[in-house]
Amino acid sequence: MFDARKLRDDFPILRRQIHGKPLVYLDSTATSQKPQVVIDALTDYYSRSNANVHRGIHTLSEEATALYEGARAAVARFIGAPNPHTIIFTRNTTESINAVRHAWGNRHIKAGDEIVLTEMEHHSNLVPWQMLAKEKGAVLRFIPVTENGELALDELPKLLNEKTKLISLTHMSNVLGTINPVKAVIQEAHSRGIPVLVDGAQSVPHLPINVMDLNCDFLAFSAHKMLGPTGIGILYAKEALLEEMDPFLGGGDMIRDVWLDHSIWNDLPWKFEAGTPNIADAIAFGKAIEYLEKLGMPAIQQHEQTLTRYALSKLQAIDGLIIHGPKEAEKRGGVVSFEIPGLHPHDLGQLLDEQGIAIRAGHHCCKPLLRKMSLIATARASFYIYNIEEEVDALVDALRKAKEVFSVVSRR
């Protein structure tokens, strides 16, 4: 059974003291902590099987290849992909989205075409499409965000027409915590023949995801937000789309044959993985997936929802504190952005750090969304499998102390 208190022992960093206080890590939306089995997987690879993949017939190369491709198979299993060949290893979610922008967008987007996004997109799912639109003479349109932090989906049909060539949207907002109804968006889009890219950077680590059930055309996410190492991202795409797309990087291993004047691309998925890949981190990501699978994604979602509900109730009791995003825990993931008027989020983050509490303070790579909310920055606490109610209590106590400190300083 899922037991957050027990599994905390698997994370060595949680034993750290920060400024003489026990570490309370509430910044998993930015990056998650790593269990010992993931750390060990990195050490084991470099200690026992370090070799390049796909290129050797000696034992170490064959071991490395088997581990690397085994990790790919684990990713496919985790998201319900029908074939491991539909899983492309990248560096991160950002690179996965950029891969679609180049490999799919350059072929399919032309002058006057339209791409639909939302007003809550992370810069990683906004800037690449801005660049493509500028290059091609295309137009970006946006699904509005309501005052409650949800998408105004009644506006979607009005945005779609014969010029719409792609919808690209986040599954879960990294600022508001909003879980968007992407399945409904995909159904509406597909009824008009429009493909959909889902930014799953925040959803895949926290929710049960099945790409066959969602029927998304593209899904992008990162290992480091789901117990894995940094430097590994995933692009899933339907096989027919991958087959028609050209590689976005050229070099070794992505070719089947090469002449001086032309080349023939390799089979899927390798035609999109040029050069020596990030072998060690991919293997360690496979271990992270196994760890999550043992816990069970439904149990993880339930734990985070319970913790978020608890946090919302406690934070709402702090006089003057403003919480952004949906009021109902059922509509959001384990992310709570908030502000205390008069106290800058950066100052708040520093005061909390002195109490050993790590949160995020800033614009969260969502400047257009914060601008719409008339904000420069927010403070953000985010939860994952290893967080417990006592840490929420520590956050609340530290926020009350921060208010007192700020009040004293202001009077001076």
Cα–Cα distance, 399 to 321 (Å, whole number): 9
Q: Which amino acids are annotated catalytic?
A: 365
CA distance 335 to 348: 17
202-205 CB contacts, 8 Å cutoff, 24+ apart: 202/29, 202/170, 202/171, 202/172, 202/173, 202/174, 202/333, 202/335, 203/171, 203/172, 203/179, 203/333, 204/79, 204/171, 205/32, 205/292, 205/384
Three-state SS annotation for the chain: CCCHHHHHHHCHHHHCEECCEECEECECCCCCCCCHHHHHHHHHHHHHHCCCCCCCCCHHHHHHHHHHHHHHHHHHHHHCCCCHHHEEEECCHHHHHHHHHHHHHHHHCCCCCEEEEECCCCHHHCHHHHHHHHHHCCEEEEECECCCCCECHHHHHHHCCCCEEEEEEECECCCCCEECCHHHHHHHHHCCCCCEEEECCCCCCCCCCCHHHHCCCEEEEECCCCCCCCCCEEEEECHHHHHHCCCCCCCCCCEEEECCCCEEECCCCHHHCCCCCCHHHHHHHHHHHHHHHHHCHHHHHHHHHHHHHHHHHHHHCCCCCEEECCCCHHHECCEEEEEECCECHHHHHHHHHCCCEECEEECCCCHHHHHHCCCCCEEEEECCCCCCHHHHHHHHHHHHHHHHHHHHHHHC
Which residues face 357 on adjacent strands?
A: 24
